[in-house]
Structures are given as structure tokens and as C-alpha cells.
Amino acid sequence: MGFWDSLGKIAGEIVEKGVNDLKKTAGDLKNLRDEMESYSESELVSVYKSARRRGDYKVSSTAKRLLKENYDYEDWEIDRLEF
């Protein structure tokens, strides 16, 4: 197997792993959203603050999106939430 064949094989494996990771992340975000959809405003604010403190981007971004969609929060309102 030549150099270019080996390089192509490695690149294909890297791309496949990236796609699989992306699918897993999308599934995780959908599951989070489904679970958090029924949360009250105060629960979402609490979850958002806690996730921000922990550095949990998946949870904080999902809570932020739901606050914006379900409770008409603006970015500046979310940004001023103290955590």
C-alpha cells in the first residue's frame, strides 16, 4: 500500500469518527431537550446557572435555547443571570 493510499485510509477513518461523534452529540442534545422541555422557567434558570458553573456546554446551551423559545428571554437577560 502506497503513501497516498495509507493517507486516504487514515483521512477516511478520521472523517468517519468525526461524523459518528457529531451524530452522538446531536442525539445527546435532542435527549436533553426532550427531558428539559417540561421544566419551569425557574428550573431552567437554575439548570442554566449550574451548567455554566460546571462548564457543561450541552446543558447550558439547551437551557438557554429553551429560555429564549419558551419564555421569550433575550440574550442580554440570560447574560445578566448571575452564576
What pLDDT, on a 0 to 100 scale, did the predictor assign at position 52?
93
Instruction: Determine the Cα–Cα distance for residues 2 and 9; give it in Å rounded to an integer.
Output: 11
Asked if 48 and 78 count as a contact pair (C-beta separation under 8 A), the reply is: yes
Instruction: Please tell me the pTM assigned to this model.
Output: 0.75
pLDDT digits (tens, 9 = 90+) for 34-51: 999 999 999 999 999 999
Ranges of each domain in the chain: 13-79
Helix (H, G, I), strand (E, B) or coil at 2: coil
**Which residues touch 64 (CB under 8 Å, ≥6 apart)?**
48, 73, 78
Mean pLDDT calculated for residue range 47-71: 95
